[in-house]
């Protein structure tokens, strides 16, 4: 006689200890907290934006690393969380109504905090709530001794709104030399938020140890012989119902870290500068790193890929089926002329040729320079090698 039963597939508490072995980098782990802060503002934009305008400041996310005490603090002035919101946010892989856009998986804060440190607290106050709630997480105690997460409350002003995450017992050491890299990556990841709009206003002010994180400088685009800027928008393109937008261009002066395509989702960079996507059908090389050639150094672009899957750590687009091949084919067609131009920039193709008059004037200037008193003195005092 056949029996049919049902069982629940559950995740035990030791799972949170396993998060310390995820393949994060420090900048992508920190980005999880920035994602939550910025998405919270997007979820309640009209409400929190009005308050921030009245307060005369933008959304601010501040990151502090205390190397001596081995702590990391991330705090923001977004809308904050109520007690119920905080309890819901502590549930792993349990998306809430606010889990959308940059925070759609409902896991980032927990996985990143456990990856960075053994202990962490979340202190938050929702705008208009008048209550500050703090949750304290001891990763080892929860994973191995069945501990719970204690919550404490204290009354505060109803005008207050913030969230502060403090991580201690750091599992990772942030070297001083790594901090510039962290700022470079974060500046690139949130460049659309960090750049001022037409009114000069920014959607986000991001700081690291008190120093403002800046977006990459605007690119210096090359021009063709007619003077036309070598940059253009891509035509809208759809793959399996998912739309790709963006632009491509050729840099006047490039470098390996400047070439390639930066891929964004929900206005946040998934992969890009200084480690952009370089499909070998366009850039050569292996493993999508690009060859060390002029195309890989000067051909660049931005791809807006909303709707595509991304990795757990939000550092890679996960294409399905033949999506990647279809995208590569589209980009090969769109970049062919630009790739040829970038490649031709070597040797005798460095811009328009000089006229005879320009060459003659240059020679006359050099002749004049070489008979000046300074040059004569330098030649008279020069120590010549023995014959």
pLDDT tens per residue, range 83-105? 999 999 998 776 666 666 787 76
pLDDT at 200: 87
**How large a percentage of the chain has pLDDT more than 90?**
63
pLDDT at 291: 67
pLDDT at 355: 56
**How large a percentage of the chain has pLDDT more than 70?**
84
Q: Which of 92, 82, 81, 78 is nearest to 18 (CA)?
A: 92
pLDDT at 101: 76
Q: Please tell me which residue, 211 or 275, carries the higher pLDDT value.
A: 211
Q: How confident is the model at residue 254 (pLDDT cuts 50, 70, 90)?
A: confident
Q: How confident is the model at residue 19 (pLDDT cuts 50, 70, 90)?
A: confident
Check residue 206 and give left, alpha or beta (phi > 0: left; psi -120 to 50: alpha).
Answer: beta
Quick one: how many helices (H) and strands (E) in the chain?
13, 16
Mean pLDDT confidence for 121-145: 96
Torsion, Cα of 136, 142, 147, 152 (10° steps): 10
pLDDT surpasses 50 at 127: yes
Mean pLDDT confidence for 249-257: 89
Fold of the CATH domain 231-343: Ribosomal Protein S5; domain 2 (3.30.230)
What would the DSSP string read from start to end of 126-193? -TTT-EEEEEEEEHHHHHHH-----EEEEE--TT--EEEEEEEEESS---HHHHHHHHHHHHHHTHHH
Token readout for 6 is: 């049902």
Contact by Cβ (8 Å): 317, 308:
yes
Token readout for 129 is: 């709530």
Mean pLDDT confidence for 209-219: 94
pLDDT at 358: 52
Domain 15-212 top-level CATH class: alpha beta
The pTM for the full model equals 0.83
pLDDT at 249: 97
Q: How confident is the model at residue 257 (pLDDT cuts 50, 70, 90)?
A: confident
Contact by Cβ (8 Å): 281, 332:
yes
pLDDT surpasses 60 at 353: no
Q: What is the pLDDT of residues 49-74, one digit of tens each?
A: 899 999 999 999 999 999 999 999 99
Mean pLDDT for the chain? 87
Residues of the chain with CATH 3.30.230: 231-343
Q: How confident is the model at residue 346 (pLDDT cuts 50, 70, 90)?
A: low
pLDDT at 286: 62
41 vs 204: CA distance, rounded Å: 10
Residues of the chain with CATH 3.30.565.10: 15-212
Q: What is the pLDDT of residues 185-196, one digit of tens each?
A: 999 999 999 999
Token readout for 127 is: 């705008």
pLDDT at 360: 65
By DSSP bridging, strand 260-265 and strand 299-304 are parallel
pLDDT surpasses 80 at 349: no
pLDDT at 369: 53
Q: How confident is the model at residue 371 (pLDDT cuts 50, 70, 90)?
A: low
pLDDT at 209: 97
């Amino acid at each position: 006689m056949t029996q049919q039963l049902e069982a629940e597939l559950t995740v035990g508490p030791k799972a949170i200890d396993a998060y310390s072995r995820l393949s994060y980098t420090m900048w992508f782990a920190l980005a999880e907290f920035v994602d939550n802060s910025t998405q919270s503002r997007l979820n309640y934009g009209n409400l929190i934006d009005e308050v921030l305008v009245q307060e005369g400041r933008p959304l601010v996310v501040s990151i502090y690393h205390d190397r001596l005490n081995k702590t990391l603090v991330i705090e923001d002035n977004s809308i904050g969380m109520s007690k119920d919101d905080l309890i819901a946010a502590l549930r792993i892989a349990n998306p809430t109504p606010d889990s959308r856009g940059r925070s759609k998986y409902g896991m980032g804060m927990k996985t990143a905090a456990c990856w960075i440190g053994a202990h962490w607290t979340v202190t938050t106050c929702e705008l208009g709530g008048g209550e500050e709630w703090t949750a304290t997480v001891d990763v080892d105690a929860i994973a191995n001794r069945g501990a719970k997460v204690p919550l404490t409350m204290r009354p505060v002003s109803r005008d207050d709104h913030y969230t502060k995450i403090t991580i201690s017992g750091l599992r990772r050491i942030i070297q001083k030399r790594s901090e510039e890299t962290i700022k470079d990556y974060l500046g690139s990841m949130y460049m659309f938020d960090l750049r001022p709009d037409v009114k000069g206003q920014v959607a986000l002010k991001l700081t690291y140890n008190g120093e403002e994180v800046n977006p990459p400088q605007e690119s210096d685009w090359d021009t063709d012989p007619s003077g036309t800027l070598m940059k253009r928008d891509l035509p809208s393109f759809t793959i399996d119902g998912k739309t790709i937008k963006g632009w491509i261009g050729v840099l006047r002066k490039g470098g390996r870290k400047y070439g390639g395509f930066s891929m964004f989702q929900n206005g946040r960079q998934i992969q890009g500068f200084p480690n952009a996507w370089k499909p070998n059908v366009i850039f050569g090389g292996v493993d999508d790193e690009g060859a060390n050639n002029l195309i890989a150094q000067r051909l660049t672009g931005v791809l807006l890929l909303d709707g595509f899957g991304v990795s757990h750590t939000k550092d890679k687009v996960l294409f399905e089926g033949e999506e990647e091949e279809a995208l590569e084919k589209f980009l090969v067609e769109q970049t062919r002329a630009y790739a040829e131009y970038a490649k031709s920039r070597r040797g005798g193709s460095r811009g328009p040729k000089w006229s005879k008059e320009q060459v003659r004037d240059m020679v006359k200037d050099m002749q004049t320079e070489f008979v000046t008193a300074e040059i004569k003195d330098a030649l008279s005092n020069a120590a010549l090698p023995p014959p």
